[in-house]
Structure 1
Amino acid sequence: MPSHDETTSAEMAFRQNLDGAIDTFVQTRLESFEPLGPDVLDFVGAAAQFVSGGKRLRASFCRAGWLAAGGADGDDQMTDAAAAIELLQGSALVHDDLMDGSDTRRGRPSVHRDFAARHRARHRVGDPAWYGQSTAILMGDLLLSWSNEMLVAAALRGEPSAARSAIAVFDACKAEVAAGQFLDVTAQTRPDVSVADAMVVVRYKSAKYTVERPLQIGAALAGADATMLGRLSDVALPLGEAFQLRDDVLGVFGDPEVTGKPAGDDLREGKRTVLVARTLELTDAAGRATVINGLGTEAVDDVQAVIRSSGALAAVEADIARLEAEADAAIDALGARDVLGPLALRATRRDR
């Protein structure tokens, strides 16, 4: 088993190569837009800046799938595929912030807020909010296009059967995240939501997209067969669900200095998460009224208090522990503890 230092060193090298691959790809595309003038270059430059940071968790799962299927670390094909997944993540985040009306992302203004501010600063005519919203839609579309271009190019450098398999998984990922996002949007239109319904959103918006599909893309590129891809799903789905439940907790109780988002932002946005659904299931009539009336408002402290007092926070923490145990058992059955163990901890035991 590699030591912690060796694992960290390999991960750091991967991150550097990943950032380099994204920077090189985006710089080339930026140069191709030069004839369109400064406004487009400003837009494309902002897209490049937007994908320049983050946890890189999905890319790390792509690498883990590649390694679990016998691929050699440091391979450029795998790195480029992982970079493509990060561009897809950028697309999803730009659109997610717009749909949620979020003011910030990673401690900076969200894209739609940023471009609305640019509109005002440059004394443009028309509605700044419309300009920012339109720009965010287009930036998300641009990043989605780039992600597809980069993934397909990376896959086609390998064996034809592996390329077909990886592209098919990536296509499924793109469709699933759109469906999961729609389910999430739809949930916000209902006064109430069940835990079962909220868990469907968790699986399709997050678990498959964050863990399962990146793992499978990396493994498929390394030549994994259908059996291996299925065994990776056994790890990925409980781990991805635990990841999203941790995200739900941080969205209500996270430290804004660490998360880069205001405390209780999920409550202000009216999100019907599993944490909220558990609260509605466990609290009394007065607590239900507080939660239902408080979602989507500034009554964050009141809703937080009900979440704690109802036992919902403790119940979701117990769910996370149960899902971690399921994922751990599947990791051991796969014989991939060295590759997946540290990454599993990163996904669920985090503060941002």
Structure 2
Amino acid sequence: MTQRHSTQRLVTQRLHGPLVALTALMGVSAVASVVLAVIAPVEILGANGWLKPLKFSISIAIFAATIALILDTLPRRRWLWWLGTAIALLLLAEQVVIVAAVAQGSTSHFNVATAVASALYSLMGASIAAVWLLTLVLGVLVWRRRDGDPARRAALRAGIVVGLAGMGLAFLMTGPTSAQLSDFQGVAGAHAVGIADGGAGLPLLGWSVEGGDLRAPHFIGMHALQGLPLLVWGLEALVRRVPLLASVVTRTRLAWIAGTAWAGVTAITLWQALRGESIIAPSAPVATATALLAVGILIATAAVLRSPRVPEAGRRAPQPVA
């Protein structure tokens, strides 16, 4: 192998630098947030303010790492490098605003009390909208690809579609509520439905246990981008122990079933939130819809597993994950 070919091989094996750096930086940010939550707690809306940058640090780290891995599956193009770099910078800008707001004992989201706060909130909104559009571009590129393992391709396609839908749900939180319009207090937008933001919530996640919370479907849908590919890798890891999973056709069908299930759960939790119901207290209609979805997914899964196929001729099944 010539030195030129060796260099090219190293380049193609290197993940996107700015996104990897952002992932590492968010790891540091998460640790710092935990430390500050203990030694310098700041109460904001009844909760420790440093929990917010902690959650966003973890979420941004996971998202940045995922985008870096997706870019690694695509042909090397300079414009794609800049696309990944733009995503990294936009996410970093959002995190900087969040941390700065907590350090000042204030909120970052929905805060329009002053000209500066309103400008920063607008910056965050524009950043996330841009990230959504750039991720959509990646989604189109991934969807058009025909090479690679079909099951992995199906999981990534479904993950991007559901993930983009979940990300888009954030925009439902940005409009002012009727109460905010009738009595302006420097706040425009809310994640809670039927109650005011704040109050009792689930540990770490903070989702309201008193009313609807749009953060639940937003979180669940957004992370399909990681969950569905991980599920397929898990199926590959079980190939030796579960012969039914040796068929690429079976794994591909299971990937699409999982994508349907993930989309269904996202839709149901969105419906539940819009009804003003807590994630831990579903009403009879929501519980019924959840049960019907579960039964449908179980029936579809059983049908796939009862009619296994061998891997397609000439196609090499992926090696099980160690």
- Normalised by the size of structure 2, how large is the TM-score? 0.34
Give the alignment's TM-score, normalised by structure 1.
0.32
Larger relative helix fraction: 1
The structure whose RCO (Cα within 8 Å, separation 6+) is larger is 1
